[in-house]
Amino acid sequence: MSIISVKEVYKRYQLGRENFVHALRGATMQVEKGEMLAIMGPSGSGKSTVMHLMGCLDRPDRGEVWLADRRVDTLPHGELTGIRGKEVGFIFQGFNLIPTLTAVENVALAAEYAGASRGKARERAEDVLKEVSLADRMGHKPGELSGGQQQRVAIARALINEPSVVLGDEPTGDLDTESSREIIGLMKSINERQGTTFVLVTHNPEIGDACHRTVLMLDGAVSEG
Amino acid sequence: MRAIRNIFRRKLRATLTIGGIAIGVLALVVMGAIAEKMTLLVNGGTEYFSDKVTVSESPAHSMAALPMSIDRVAEMEAVDGVNVASAGCTLLLDEDGGASFGMPAMLIGYDLRARDLESFEVTFADGRDLEPGDQGKAVIGSDLVKKLGVEKAGDTIEVRGRTFEVVGIMEATLTAPDTTVLVNLPDAQEIFYDGLPEFVQSMVTQDEVITDLTIYPDEGVDPDQLADRLEAQFDDIDAIGPEKFEEQIGSIADIFNYIVYGVAMVSLVVGGLSVINTMTMSVYERTREIGIRKALGASDWRIIRQFLTESAWIGLIGGIIGLALGSLMTAGGNNAIEQSGTAIFLLTPRLAIGSLAFAVVLGVLSGLYPAWHAARMNPVEALRYE
């Protein structure tokens, strides 16, 4: 059963007055529930753009995007915000934690945005941080954590609202080999234990190897997979 | 306290911005305290003049009192609608005038015939009111206690070369009586007469010179209409009723207040501009963070609320610091000039609360544009921002 369906999507960005970049040219792909999918391809092939569409961060110029049996590309701005908060979790390359917040506050923030009270959100954040083996680092700010630990916090943040799908944009991009393997292992174990769907945009072949399936993109379309 | 942590990410910038607001609020508090004092003085005068007419020799309102004959008492009391015309002799407490704000300290001698008709109530912190026949005795206002070196009723004071026994110290009224020494009419007449040029002295006797009359109207008589009638009947006097007082003194006070608050507002607007600048810089610097928050599901309203909370905190912290400095400055200022007998500043609760509230509102208003700009960001572009 597909949790995400991207059908014939086109997206172009305007650079300057008459300059356009065609990021997607009729890309189509499906993500099955519980699947761990890697999207690979050269820079500029449209990997990140398709991930943004799946995560309701952007809308296609043409085509359809379905998330959990609901067409999302036509939804108004406010509803897309709500879906991002509850149905989707994000992991970014540069960890993208908020530097003034502690690990537990960073994780709890996503739950607060999804409507949980501050106390409840914190309680849940503590539980999720324990799951990613960061029980002893909850009160640390991002600057006091290693790269691998920061990405664990980001994974905890992505998981706190029990989303239908976790989207990762180069989740190991800023990590050394050892931390990178640790994070891949963590995502794989979450996928296996909890059945969480992962879609990971990456250049890292080790992620490709760890995933159930790999989709290759080229020039804004799916070339393989 | 996440908002405060965000504000102090850039400590120097936050401190300078808060400093800008604090200086604005300081100006508002100090200038406002002057205006509040002025307003109270005027309100006290308005209350005092609300039911009576003051008559003086034309041209009136000169600090150098012009002599008037006590025969005027009988002339005025003969006018229909006049109940009592009470003779008064009003002089500057210091012969040279002294430097002071608002009403200078005054020496007032008055006959006590109309005391029961007086609606402006004065109570005593120590001692008692003057009684008829209290020659060489005085009642003093609360602001003059230190200036004249009085500790209690029974002490003596030196006023314009004469010694008086203080029989009473008035409670603070926050208006003119606080800077007034009250004596019986003959004592004030003696001082006034001695200060007159010799050629004037040769024309009058000491017991017939006064400077003004306080007219208490008959019951049901409008004091403004009575003042008009008196001026129509006697073309060499100035008669001031409640309306005329309000017109002359009230409007001057209003203009003064506009200027004072205007200056303070300019300072605050400058402070507000620095908040806009700081918050706009903060939004640009945190573009990526805004993208993350949006990706995590923050609504536009949450983003706006976050930045408005931060700018409101800047306003509040600046306001508290400005108010604290303003309180110290006004208290210090009053203390420093206490010897002159006149408090310049009056920091009222409404001024304190109003200044703080204004600082917060200013902070929020200054944060509106940056917050709106942050909320409108496209999350994808914000996430790509380096």
Spell out the domain ranges in chain A.
34-60+70-224
**Which comes out higher in pLDDT, residue A201 or B4?**
A201
Identify the burial level of A100 via C-beta atoms within 10 angstroms of its C-beta, where 0-12 means exposed, 13-18 middle and 19 or more buried: buried
Question: Cα A62 to the chain's mean position, in Å?
Answer: 22
Q: Does B144 have pLDDT greater than 80?
A: yes
Query: Residue B345 gets which letter from DSSP?
Result: -
Whole-structure pTM value: 0.74
Instruction: Confirm or reject contact between A52 and chain B (CB < 8 A).
Output: yes
Tell me the ipTM for this assembly.
Answer: 0.90
Domains in chain B, number = 2
* Percentage with pLDDT > 90 across chain B: 38
* Chosen domain end from B240, B275, B294: B240
Confidence of residue A225 (pLDDT cuts 50, 70, 90): low
Question: Do B136 and B182 fall into the same domain?
Answer: yes
Predicted pLDDT of residue B38: 83
Q: Does B224 have pLDDT greater than 70?
A: yes
* Chosen domain end from B222, B240, B258: B240
* Chosen domain end from B212, B240, B268: B240
Residues of B in contact with A165 (CB under 8 A): none
Contact A117, A103 (CB under 8 A): no
Instruction: Confirm or reject contact between A66 and chain B (CB < 8 A).
Output: no
Q: Sheet containing A62-67: which strands, arranged edge to edge? A: A19-32, A2-15, A62-67, A70-71
* Residue of chain B with shortest Cα separation from A54: B295
Q: How far apart are alpha carbons B239 and B56 in whole angstroms? A: 7
Tell me what the mean pLDDT of segment A45-65 comes to.
94
Show the domain range for B208: 53-240
Q: How far apart are alpha carbons B37 and B143 in whole angstroms? A: 13
Question: Do B324 and B357 fall into the same domain?
Answer: yes
Residues of B in contact with A57 (CB under 8 A): 294-295, 379-380, 383
Predicted pLDDT of residue B341: 59
Question: What's the one-letter identity of residue B93?
Answer: L
Predicted pLDDT of residue B226: 92
Question: Do B232 and B132 fall into the same domain?
Answer: yes
* Residue of chain B with shortest Cα separation from A108: B296
Q: How far apart are alpha carbons B93 and A72 in whole angstroms? A: 85
Q: Has residue B48 been placed in a domain?
A: no
Q: What is the CATH code of the structural domain delimited by A34-60+70-224? A: 3.40.50.300
Tell me what the mean pLDDT of segment B68-79 comes to.
90
Instruction: Confirm or reject contact between A86 and chain B (CB < 8 A).
Output: yes
Predicted pLDDT of residue B101: 55
Question: Do B65 and B190 fall into the same domain?
Answer: yes
Residue A86 C-alpha, separation from nearest chain B C-alpha, in angstroms: 8
Confidence of residue B86 (pLDDT cuts 50, 70, 90): very high
Question: Do B9 and B71 fall into the same domain?
Answer: no
**Which comes out higher in pLDDT, residue B119 or B304?**
B304
Predicted pLDDT of residue B102: 57
Residue A225 C-alpha, separation from nearest chain B C-alpha, in angstroms: 26
Confidence of residue B293 (pLDDT cuts 50, 70, 90): very high
Predicted pLDDT of residue A107: 95
Could you report the per-residue pLDDT of A188-201, keeping only the tens digit for each?
999 999 899 999 99
Residue B367 sits at the vertex; the CA angle it makes with B362 and B371, to the nearest 5 degrees, is 160
Greatest mean pLDDT range, A121-130, B101-110, B203-212: A121-130
Confidence of residue B383 (pLDDT cuts 50, 70, 90): confident
Q: Does A101 have pLDDT greater than 50?
A: yes
Instruction: Confirm or reject contact between A170 and chain B (CB < 8 A).
Output: no
Tell me what the mean pLDDT of segment B96-112 comes to.
74
Question: Do B71 and B211 fall into the same domain?
Answer: yes
- Is the Cβ pair B296, A101 closer than 8 Å? no
**Lowest model confidence (mean pLDDT) among A82-91, B121-130, B242-251:** B242-251
Q: Has residue B245 been placed in a domain?
A: no
Question: Do B127 and B229 fall into the same domain?
Answer: yes
Q: Does B254 have pLDDT greater than 90?
A: no
Q: Has residue B197 been placed in a domain?
A: yes
Q: How far apart are alpha carbons B34 and B263 in whole angstroms? A: 12
Q: Does A140 have pLDDT greater than 90?
A: yes
